[in-house]
Amino acid sequence: MKKRCKDSVFLKKINLKDFKLTFRSKYRAADIEYKKGSLVPGGMFEISKSDEKKLDVYEDYPILYKKYYFNYQNKQIMTYTMVKKTSFMYPTERYLNVIKKGYKDCNLEKKYLKKALMPSW
């Protein structure tokens, strides 16, 4: 996160309930989708407006990703979700290593990542 958003501050890890992690599109990138009873762990960061603009460019907002807002402990939180919900595509090794580093840096449970990499058919 620091590479993309120099002003970002890690606040804590959180769980987004009733969503699951997946990978999709021709970019084989991470996405979340609604799934009752599922959970996606993530890191909550405070970012500046200039960093949000940089993230928008990086995430190809609003073409590839749109912004999704939800309430968490009386705060409005933003994340990105893909605009087009294509079928599962296994991520590249390079991209997966970036995701794994994020899990490690935020001390997230890897079982959810492993589950996302083995979608049920």
pLDDT in tens, 8-55: 999 999 999 999 999 999 999 999 999 999 999 999 999 999 999 999
pTM of the complete model:
0.92
Q: Give the three-state DSSP class for 4.
A: coil
Domains of the chain: 9-114 (3.10.490.10)
3-state SS string for 44-87: EEECCHHHHHHHHHHCCCCCCEEEEEEEECCEEEEEEEECCCCC
φ/ψ of residue 4, rounded to 5: -90, -35
